[in-house]
Amino acid sequence: MEKLIESKLIKADSAFKQWKNITFEERQRLIAKAAELFRSRSEEFGTIITKEMNKPISQSIAEVEKCAVMMAYYANAENVLSPDKIESEYQISEIHYVPKGVVLGVMPWNFPFWQVLRFAIPTILAGNTVVLKHASICFGSGNAIEETLLKAGFPEGVFQNLEVGHKEVKEILEHPTVKAVSLTGSEKAGAEVASIAGQKIKKSLLELGGSDAFIILDDAELDEAAKVGALARLQNCGQTCVAAKRFIIQKNIEFDFLPKFIEEYKKYVPSDPMNKDTKIGGMAKADLAEDLEKQYQKALDNGAEAIIPLERISETEFIPGLITVKEGNPILQEELFGPLGMIMIAENDDEALEMANNIPFGLSNSVWTKNAERQKFFIDGLESGTVNINRMTSSDPRFPFGGTKSSGYGTELSLLALKEFVTAKTILGK
C-alpha cells in the first residue's frame, strides 16, 4: 500500500477516536453549515459533474441542491442513537449505539455528489469517519466534497477522498483501520467487495443495479404516465439504477398508451450538456456506450423488435431506443444502463406482476392505477425495496432506500440509515 494512502487511513482512524465523542447536536451543526455551502455553490459543483460525466447541467445543479436538502434533513433529524432504556428486572438496562469506526465508501460516477453524500452524511452523523474511493472519472467531485466539508468545519480526517483505482480497494478494505464498507455499483462489483468484507468479518452495505418495472394498467392516467415514463427512463441518459427500464403495458390499452409514450420519448434529443435547456446528453464514457450497443444487438438477436432504433450519433451520444421484448429474452436478466427502454405487454394484473418479478433484481417499481385494490395487489406482491404508485421512482431523504435480491442489502436514507454502521451494545447491571 502506498504510504500516502496508509497515512490517510491512519488519519481517519485517529480522527474517529475524537469524532465519536463529539455530540450528535454538534455534528448536526456542522452538517447544517455544509448544506448551506453546497446549496450556495450548486452551479459551480454542477459544472464539475457535467464536465466529468456529461450529465445535463440543469440535472447536475439539481443533484447538488438535492444533496443540500438531504443534509438539512439530517441536520434536524431526531437523535435515534441516544441510549434506549429498557424496562427489565435489572437496575441498569440499556442499549447503546456505538459507531464502528472508519467506513470505506466505494461510489459510482452516475451521481457523483449524491451517491457519496447520501452514504457519507448519516454515516458521519452516527460518529464514524469516512474514506472515499470514487469512480476514476469523478476525482474532481470527490475532492470538492472533501474541501467543502472541511470549509464547513469538519475536523481533518472525518472525510477523505482517496484518488485510487479499483485495484486498491481490496487492500484498503483489508486494512485493520477500516471497519466496514458501503458500495453503490454493479452486481459484479458488489459481489467482489462483499466477499472481501466477509472474509475479514466486516460489515457491508450494497446498493446495486436494477431493472425496474413501470406498470401501466387500463385505469391509469395515460397522458401523465407517458410523460413521466419517458423522464423515468431517460433522466441522466438512462444511467440510473432506479430508472424505469421495463414498461409493462396492459394489453387492452397498448394502442392508446404507446403512441403517447413514443411522442414523449422522442422529445429527448441529445444536445450540449452545458445548455440548461438540454434534457439528455451523452453517456459518461465511450466504453459504456459500446456495452449498451452490444446489449441492444443481443436483445434483437433473441427476438426483440425495435420500435425506435437505438442510434449512436457520436462517441457517447444516442438517439434513445425503444424495443419490444417478450419473456424468455436473456436481455431481461441484465441491467440496461443507458437510453434504451423495453416494452412488454401483459394480459392482466397477474401477468403484469409475474413479469415485473421475473428478474434477478428487486430495487424499485412503479405502478399506474387509480384503483385502491389493484394498488394493494401490487404493493403486496412486488419484490422490491420500493413501490411507487402513480409516480416515478426518486429517492427521498425521509424514507429508506435499498433493494432486495441482486439489487443488494442494507438501508440508505431515513433515520434507519443512522443505525447501519453502529453496534447495538447491550448494558445490563444490578
The set of catalytic residues is 207, 241
Residue 78's contacts (CB-CB under 8 Å, 6 or more residues apart) are 415
CA distance 320 to 100: 44
Q: What are the backbone angles phi and psi of residue 50, rounded to the nearest 5°?
A: -60, -40
Q: Parallel, antiparallel, or unpaired for β 203-207 and 364-368?
A: unpaired
283, 318 Cβ separation under 8 angstroms: yes
- C-alpha dihedral sign at 268, 269, 275, 277: negative
Provide the 8-state DSSP code for 154. P
Q: What are the backbone angles phi and psi of residue 311, rounded to the nearest 5°?
A: -115, 115
Residue type, 230: A
- What are the grid coordinates assigned to 15, written together? 480522527
CA distance 78 to 124: 15
282, 317 Cβ separation under 8 angstroms: yes
Residue with cell 457491508: 204
Q: Parallel, antiparallel, or unpaired for β 408-409 and 203-207?
A: antiparallel
Q: Parallel, antiparallel, or unpaired for β 178-184 and 102-106?
A: parallel
What one-character-per-residue DSSP string does 37-105 give?
A: HHHHTHHHHHHHHHHHH---HHHHHHHHHHHHHHHHHHHT---TTSPEE--SSSSEEEEEEEE-SEEEE
CA distance 394 to 378: 18
Please give the helix or strand (H or E) that residue 430 lies within, else none: none
